[in-house]
Every structure is written in structure tokens, then in C-alpha cells.
Structure 1
Amino acid sequence: MPMRIGPYQVFDFLGQGGMGAVYLTRSRGGRSLAVKVIRADLAVNRDFRRRFAREVTAARKVSGAYTAPVVDADTECAEPWLATMFVPGRSLWETVRTDGVLDGERVRELGAGLAEALIDIHAAGIIHRDLKPHNVLMGADGPRVIDFGIAHVADLPPMTDPGALLGTPHFMSPEQIKGNRLTFASDVFSFGLVLAYAAIGGSPFGPGSNAQLLLRILHEEPDLTALPDDLRRLVAACLARRPEQRPSPSELLDALAAVTAPDERTARPGPLPRVPTVWVPEAGPGGADFARNAHAVLDDGLTDALVIEAARHDG
């Protein structure tokens, strides 16, 4: 008997992650959808269900050319699920691993699409909190930002424990690592790391374990020397350690649009009003939060995409 999820018949299995399995299905009108079914052991957790229901409601408000919006969901059934528009194409992570880094013009096009996606996401009052190459699909008509699994509604209190680590270490902002209150600027820091990954094939904070990357993001400067001049300036502004010093997605879009020449030697970057300065570590209880976060990363801090990636590329 064919498997069904709510009103949908399953046509293919797409992947398995830490929160559940993802399947390919179609709407009654024939539109391809990706349906994520939450694991049974998470489904019986009341706190998880409340958070899942709240974030599905929030994610339904997001629409735009560069997102894959939620189109249907059932958060009350025995195995909660949500359906999003299916975007054929590889993730940015897979694209770079398979084909190599993107050239300057393609990185700028990627950046413009991601900036527009963040404008739409933030306009809905949502902080994505897990923007990374795994969650960027390279569609034929431009990139799509997906997976609002740990997104947070900016005007509502968090439903996770204070200081708990949620996100992917390689692409987290300093305030996210320390367990501080997040703003939309946290996504901008991740945006800068995603663009750097697309251009250089790794983190500007270097290789290493999750714990090593967390420490470098907090205390060291990124190496952006391999980036073209205009992208170096833009990414450096995004990676300012103080959130208030980072440009907004709208300012990023304006800066990318102002680059009129595709040749790195003649490209002219647009204005970025915020300039990163030297950051001095703040005193206070953040150190205890960081130690707890680092421990969580080493124990079981992998997100859905990293669990899949570890299974595919073990060793």
C-alpha cells in the first residue's frame, strides 16, 4: 500500500535528519512538495510540539522569490509534518564540494538572492538562526533559503533553555555561540560566512573541529585575502563581531547591485555604512555559556544537515 502523509501520497524518499525524514510528494494540483515528518520520539515531547507549531505558523508568513515557503502542515497529528515547495537542485554545500568554488560574479548573484531572502524572512519577524550552505538550494532561477527548523520569532520569547546551542558551529554568529539574545544581525553574520564558503570553499576562520571554530569565531579575525576586493569588503562588514556594526540585508542588496562591472579589477563596491572594528571580549557569565555550548557541540550538537553529511562523507 502506498505511503501517505496527511492528504499526500509519497513518491520518493529524499533524506533522513536529526528531526525526521523528508519525502517527495505532490499537491492536488500537481505541484512538487517536500514533506518533513517529525520523529516519533520528538512528537511525544510537549515542549517540542509547542515550539514546532509556533514556528510553522511563523514560517507560513514568509514568502518571496528566494525562499521555499511552507504550504501545508499538521502539528496536532501523531506524527507532525510540514510541507514546503520542493526546489530541484543541489545545495550550495554539495555544489561547492562537487564543482568547486563559485567565481566572483556567481558569488555576487548568490549574495543578492540571499540578501533578498533575508529581507523577506526578517519582514515576517523571523530570525532564521541556521543560514548555511546546506540550507541554500541552488535552483535554476536562483538560490532558495530553506529549513526554518530552529528559526525564532523575534517578538516572542524563546522556547529553548538559556545558553542552549542551536545552529551549525561553522556558520554561527558570536552572540549565538555565547547564548546571547539574537537579533536579525545574527543572520547577517551567517550570510557573510556563506558567501565566503562559496568563494573559497571553506571557513575564513580556517579548518578544524567544531570547538576550534567556535573559539576562532569568538576571538580571531577571519582570513579574507582570497576574496575579490569588493567581496572582501562586504564580507568583512558582515563579520563584524558586534551585531550593531553589521549592514542590514537591504544595505547588502544595495551594495551588491552597485557592483556594475563583473571584472574584479574594475568592480566598484556599493556603500557599506558600517565598518567592523577591533572587538574586545566582554566580561561576565558568557564564558560559562560558551563552555556549555562547546560541550553540547561535541556531544550531540549536529543539526539535520550535518547528520546527513556525516553519514554520506564519513572519514
Structure 2
Amino acid sequence: MAPLRPTDPSRIAGYRMLGRLGAGGMGVVLLGRSAGGALAAVKIIHPSYAQDAAFRERFRREVRLARQVRSRYAVPVVDADTEALAPWLATEFVPGPPIGEAVDRTGPLPEHSVLRLGRMLAEALEAVHTAGMVHRDVKPGNVLLAPDGPRLIDFGIARALDDTVLTATDMVVGSPGFLAPEQARGEQPGPAGDVFSLGCVLAYAATGERPFGAGPVEAVLYRTVHDTPRLDALPGPLRPVVAHCLAKDAARRPTAAELRALLTRDTPAEGWLPAPIDRLIAERSARMLALPDIEATRVEPAGPGATTAVTAPPARPHWTRRRTLALVAGAAALTAGSTTAFWLLGVDRPT
């Protein structure tokens, strides 16, 4: 998390801003804390987009639809103001890493983890599709890992942004290497496109490689449309399921509900991740426990000549080795007990 910049708001509605989670051409994502102490990722749309009446109408519609998604594996919208000069929305927050980072740092996931991952993400997509939405950008960076299961982020809202900005300039909507052939051709994707993308994510999680390779965007898109995916490195039970998801013909792919049934297996959610990823989650959770204190209360002067009374800020804790160990130990409880999920909407993480 990066520090707030002078141009960033210190408060939005009932949220105090703590730092920057990311930024992009359409806006900025800040970490906020509600009056009750809950953390939220707050996305602030740039006012220039808000001046577009068509964009604002799509934004209203997608926020409304996103609130209807009911899945423990899909991040919910918890607050929003679609009528503000700079429209914003907030989602729940957890500090779990995205699949891409986890694979980069710890290697591919074991077979049982990928099977469980696929089943839970299929359940999330089923809820998104039931709400009348299409995700359109299922990729490793949009799936966060937590001890009690993955969290699908960016659902629905990305559709409002892309309809206004990307589609208007004839750009492909989605992430090359994880989008469906119909998306690569510039066509409007449906739920089957999300299933194709999920198949690509599962192949990547299990092998660390994209099923249509890497390289120039044009080459990846061509292979997505015309070539057979490379699935030889996939474990036996996964290969036919992923191949089914990656059918070129959208009508031949399973629905999200059918995919969930295909991946049904007696694998408990608890302990579904390998130990190195559990440690990565704990490290991130520990950093969240070290967030800044609530600022001191300020009282404005009562009249001319009066002085401003400022309460003394709470003393910074003395960081002993015992306290540091307790912080790390508490990380697991923060992650396991949290109902919040990390959310980024079409922006880059600060480096």
C-alpha cells in the first residue's frame, strides 16, 4: 500500500482513507476504514468519466446488479454513491494475494487445491450470471486467495467501464491469454466466455503457464482463436475438465453450474492451500494489523480569540519482540475471520 497523495481525499462519506491500493486512467482505489473499524477498498471514478451521461447510467445499473450477487466467493459491493461529482463505490477487503502473485512466489498449486479452486470459482460465476451479469475479465489477478476459499473481484463493474471506454475505441475487452475466442474477435461475450477464462486460470494455477502461451498480444489472440491449448502438463483429472471449458465453440462449454458439478470432490475448504501460500497470506494480514491509528479529534475554535483544542494522539506502541510475534500470530485470525475481500477495478497496484 502506498501513502495517500495530496490530491487524494482524506474522507469519503463515512470512510477515513488510509492509503493507496492502486491507480489507473479511470480512477484510484484507496483503502478506507469505516466508523465501525471495518476496512474497505474504495474506488473513486475520475470526474471526467462521470460527466458522460451514458457512462453514469451504466455505472448505476452495474452497481445495482452487483449488489444482487450472493456468493461467499464473490466480493460484494458494500457502499456506493453513483450520483457524486466523482462517483465511488466500496467493497469489502481482505489482504489475500492474487493467484498470479502466489504462483510467481511459491510455484503452481497442487492438484487438490486447483480442483477446489475451480469448484469455488464456478460457484462465484454462477452467482454472477444468475444476477444477470457477465464478468468478462476472469484472470489470475482478479482472483484473491484466502484460507476459507478464493474471492472473485471486479465482477460486473468492469462491464460498465469497458462499455464506455474500451468498446468505444474498438479495443478487445479482457486480458489476452485468459479471454475467450469470441472476445478475441471483438464480439460481445456471454457467460460462456467467463467459463473459458476460468479454464485458462485453472490451467495457469496448476502449471504456471498460460494455455495459449505468451508473447505479443496479436500472437496470443491468434492462438486463442485458432490453436489447440497446451494442456499436456495438467494432472489427469483436471485435463478433460479444462479442455471442456476451452472449447472454441461457446455452445459446447459447460455452464458455471455444470462446471461446479464436474469439479465436485470431497476436499474440505479448510486447509485447501499449501503451506507457503498460507504463510504469504499471514504476512499480508500482519501488515494490515499495523495500519495507522485513528487520527486525533480536532475541535474548531468557538469564536474570535479562541484557540483550537486538539486531543493528544494515542501513543505509538513500543514494538518489542513479543509484540511483533503476537502481531504475526494474529494475522491468521484476521484473515480467517474477515468477511472482507481485496478489490481492484481496472487499475494497477502500486510498486
TM-score bracket, shorter-length normalisation: 0.7 to 0.9
Q: From 194, 197, 203, give the equivalent of 1:190.
A: 197
Residue 175 of structure 1 corresponds to 182
Q: Does 1:308 align with 2:315?
A: no
Q: What residue identity is the alignment partner of 2:257?
A: S
Question: Which moved further from structure 2: 141-150 or 162-171?
Answer: 162-171
2:28 and 2:347 in contact (8 A); partners too:
no
Q: From 246, 250, 256, give the equivalent of 1:239.
A: 246
Separation in 2, partners of 1:17, 1:116: 30
2:44 and 2:86 in contact (8 A); partners too:
yes
Which of the two has higher C-alpha Rg? 2
Residue 151 of structure 1 corresponds to 159
Separation in 2, partners of 1:173, 1:57: 26
Q: From 90, 93, 99, give the equivalent of 1:86.
A: 93
Q: Which has the bigger relative contact order, CA under 8 A and spacing at least 6?
A: 2
Residue 231 of structure 2 corresponds to 224
Q: From 111, 120, 132, give the equivalent of 2:118.
A: 111
Question: Which moved further from structure 2: 195-204 or 44-53?
Answer: 44-53
Deviation (angstroms), 1:306: 7.8
Task: Return the TM-score normalized by structure 2.
Answer: 0.70
Q: Secondary structure at the match of 1:257?
A: coil
Q: Pick closer, same or farther for the CA change 1:306–1:75 going to 2, 3 Å.
A: closer
Which stretches in structure 1 are left out of the alignment for 5+ residues?
153-157, 261-303
Separation in 1, partners of 2:265, 2:113: 15
Q: Does 1:13 align with 2:20?
A: yes
Q: What residue identity is the alignment partner of 2:61?
A: R
Deviation (angstroms), 1:210: 1.3
Deviation (angstroms), 1:162: 9.3
2:99 and 2:145 in contact (8 A); partners too:
yes
Separation in 2, partners of 1:258, 1:35: 36
Residue 72 of structure 1 corresponds to 79
Separation in 2, partners of 1:162, 1:186: 21
Question: Which moved further from structure 2: 32-41 or 238-247?
Answer: 32-41
Residue 52 of structure 2 corresponds to 45
Q: Identity of counterpart residues, as a percentage?
A: 48
2:98 and 2:140 in contact (8 A); partners too:
yes
Deviation (angstroms), 1:163: 5.4
Residue 274 of structure 1 corresponds to none
Q: Pick closer, same or farther for the CA change 1:216–1:223 going to 2, 3 Å.
A: same
Q: Does 1:256 align with 2:259?
A: no
Say how many residue pairs are matched.
264
Task: Return the TM-score normalized by structure 1.
Answer: 0.78
2:16 and 2:34 in contact (8 A); partners too:
no
Separation in 1, partners of 2:29, 2:214: 30
2:212 and 2:224 in contact (8 A); partners too:
yes
Q: Secondary structure at the match of 1:116?
A: helix
Which stretches in structure 2 are left out of the alignment for 5+ residues?
1-5, 268-343
Q: Secondary structure at the match of 2:254?
A: coil
Q: How does 1:289-304 map to 2 (within 5 A)?
A: none
User: What per-residue deviation string (whole Å, max 9, x for no partner) do you get for residues 132-189 of structure 1?
Assistant: 111101122110001133237xxxxx66449542211121111112122322111000
Separation in 2, partners of 1:171, 1:177: 10
Q: From 186, 208, 219, give the equivalent of 1:212.
A: 219
Separation in 2, partners of 1:207, 1:169: 9
